[in-house]
C-alpha cells in the first residue's frame, strides 16, 4: 500500500497536470505509474469522482495550497460530503455539506461550513452557513472612486463570525418560501493609520441580527454544479435594534441564474443585485470582489449600499474528470438605487481549471483579471 506521505505528494500532480491526450477517458494522468498513484491518492481521500449513498455521508477530502489576493498563500483542507437526507430523496439530487479550513502566510485563519439539505420528496429544505475568520483586512472607503486609490487603504485585523440558518417549504412546482435568521459580528483592531479620515462611518466593531424571508424558484439539476435549469431568488433581511442589532437597516438580494447545456458544455450566466436602506454598517455593505462576486478584485475593496453585477461562464469538460472554464463579468456600486450605473463599471475576465472530486463536485483553480487588479483562487464548488 502506498505510504500516506507519497499520497499527499502525488496530489499536486493530479490537480495541476493537464495531459495532452489519453486513450482511456477515465485516466487522470497519461503516465501509467503516475495515473495509478493519483488514483490511489484520491481514492484514499474519498475524492474518487463518485457518490455512494450507502456510505451515509460520502466524504471527499482535498488538502492543498490556498491563495487569494486578500489571504496570500497558505494551506487549506476542503471536504465535501454528499448524502441522502431520507428515503424519499433517492430520485433527487443528493444533499451536501461543504467544509473549508485554511491558514495563510499573512496570519489569516478561517473555516466555512455550508449545508444544503433536502427532505420529504424535496418539499422541505434546510440551509445553513457558518463562517469564522481571523485575518488581516483592508478598508478603502465607500464607493468605487474611494476604492481605487491605494492611499485610501486602512489596514486592520478583523475577527468575524456569521451564522445563517434558513428553512424553506415548497409552495408550488420548483418554488419555495421560507424564513431564517442572519447573525453577523465583526471585531477590528490595530488600525493603520490609527485615525483614518473621510471613512463615512467606518468603525471597528459591528454586531447585527436579522430576521430573513426567502423566496426561491429552483429548477437546477444540481445546485453545486448545475448543467441545466434556472434559479430565481429573493432574500430580504430586516436588521433591527429590537432584536439585538446595533443598527437598524434592511437589505434585499435578488439573483437570476440560468444554465444552458450546449453539447457537452454548459453556458451559465447570472445577474444579481443587493439593495440596502437605513443605517447600514461598513461591514454589511454590498461588496464587489473576492472569489464569488467579480473575481480579480480584493474582497471588500469596493463597497457601497447598492450593488448590480452580471457574469457569464463557459464550462467545458475536457475528458475524464478534467474540465475548464472561461468567464467575463462586470459590476458597479452606488449610494442610492437611482444612482446605479452612474459610477464606473468594474470588469473581470478569467480562465479556470476543474477536477471532479465527487459526482458533479469540482475542485476549482481560477485566474482572474480586473481593471488593474488580478487574483488566483483555489477552492471547491462552482462560483454560481
Question: Where in 3-57 does DSSP place strands (E)?
Answer: none
HSE of 368, CA atoms in CB hemisphere, 13 A:
33
* pLDDT for position 194: 58
pLDDT at position 33 over 80:
no
Topology annotation, domain 46-380: Porin (2.40.160)
Question: Strand, coil or helix: what is 90?
Answer: coil
**What average pLDDT does this structure show over 340-369?**
91
pLDDT at position 8 over 60:
no
pLDDT at position 201 over 90:
no
pLDDT at position 16 over 50:
no
Predicted TM-score (pTM) above 0.85 = no
Top mean-pLDDT range of 11-20, 32-41, 121-130, 353-362: 121-130
Interacting residues of 135 by C-beta distance below 8 A, sequence separation 6+? 70, 71, 104, 106, 107, 108, 109, 110, 157, 158
pLDDT at position 241 over 60:
yes
* pLDDT for position 189: 76
Any idea where the domains of the chain sit in the sequence?
Answer: 1-45, 46-380
pLDDT tens by residue, 35-75: 778 777 777 777 777 888 888 899 988 877 776 666 777 78
Question: Where in 6-139 does DSSP place strands (E)?
Answer: 58-68, 72-83, 95-104, 109-119, 124-139
Amino acid at each position: 500500500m502506498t505510504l500516506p506521505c507519497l499520497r499527499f505528494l502525488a496530489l499536486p500532480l493530479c490537480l495541476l497536470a493537464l495531459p495532452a491526450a489519453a486513450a482511456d477517458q477515465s485516466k487522470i494522468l497519461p503516465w501509467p505509474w503516475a495515473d495509478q498513484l493519483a488514483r490511489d491518492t484520491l481514492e484514499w481521500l474519498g475524492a474518487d469522482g463518485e457518490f455512494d449513498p450507502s456510505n451515509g455521508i460520502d466524504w471527499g477530502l482535498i488538502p492543498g495550497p490556498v491563495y487569494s489576493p486578500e489571504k496570500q498563500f497558505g494551506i487549506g483542507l476542503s471536504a465535501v460530503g454528499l448524502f441522502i437526507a431520507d428515503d424519499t430523496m433517492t430520485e433527487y439530487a443528493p444533499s451536501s455539506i461543504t467544509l473549508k479550513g485554511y491558514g495563510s502566510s499573512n496570519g489569516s485563519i478561517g473555516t466555512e461550513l455550508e449545508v444544503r439539505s433536502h427532505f420529504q420528496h424535496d418539499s422541505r429544505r434546510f440551509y445553513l452557513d457558518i463562517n469564522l475568520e481571523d485575518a488581516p483586512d483592508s478598508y478603502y472607503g465607500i464607493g468605487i472612486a474611494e476604492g481605487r486609490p491605494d492611499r485610501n487603504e486602512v489596514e486592520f485585523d478583523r475577527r468575524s463570525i456569521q451564522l445563517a440558518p434558513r428553512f424553506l417549504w415548497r409552495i408550488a412546482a420548483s418554488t419555495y418560501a421560507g424564513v431564517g435568521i442572519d447573525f453577523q459580528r465583526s471585531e477590528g483592531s490595530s488600525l493603520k493609520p490609527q485615525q483614518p479620515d473621510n471613512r463615512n462611518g467606518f468603525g471597528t466593531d459591528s454586531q447585527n441580527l436579522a430576521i430573513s424571508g426567502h423566496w426561491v424558484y429552483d429548477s437546477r439539476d444540481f445546485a453545486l454544479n448545475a448543467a441545466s435549469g434556472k434559479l430565481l431568488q429573493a432574500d430580504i433581511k430586516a436588521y433591527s435594534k429590537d432584536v439585538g442589532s446595533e443598527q437598524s437597516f434592511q437589505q434585499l438580494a435578488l439573483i437570476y441564474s440560468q444554465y444552458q447545456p450546449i453539447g457537452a458544455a454548459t453556458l451559465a450566466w447570472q445577474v444579481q443585485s443587493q439593495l440596502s436602506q437605513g443605517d447600514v454598517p461598513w461591514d454589511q455593505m454590498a461588496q464587489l470582489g473576492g472569489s464569488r462576486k467579480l473575481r480579480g478584485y480584493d474582497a471588500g475593496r469596493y463597497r457601497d449600499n447598492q450593488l448590480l453585477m452580471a457574469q457569464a461562464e463557459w464550462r467545458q469538460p475536457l475528458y475524464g474528470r478534467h474540465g475548464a472554464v472561461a468567464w467575463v463579468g462586470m459590476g458597479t456600486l452606488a449610494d442610492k438605487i437611482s444612482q446605479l450605473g452612474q459610477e464606473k463599471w468594474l470588469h473581470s475576465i478569467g480562465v479556470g481549471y476543474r477536477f471532479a472530486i465527487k459526482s458533479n463536485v469540482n475542485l476549482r483553480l481560477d485566474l482572474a483579471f480586473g481593471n488593474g487588479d488580478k487574483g488566483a483562487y483555489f477552492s471547491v464548488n462552482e462560483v454560481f
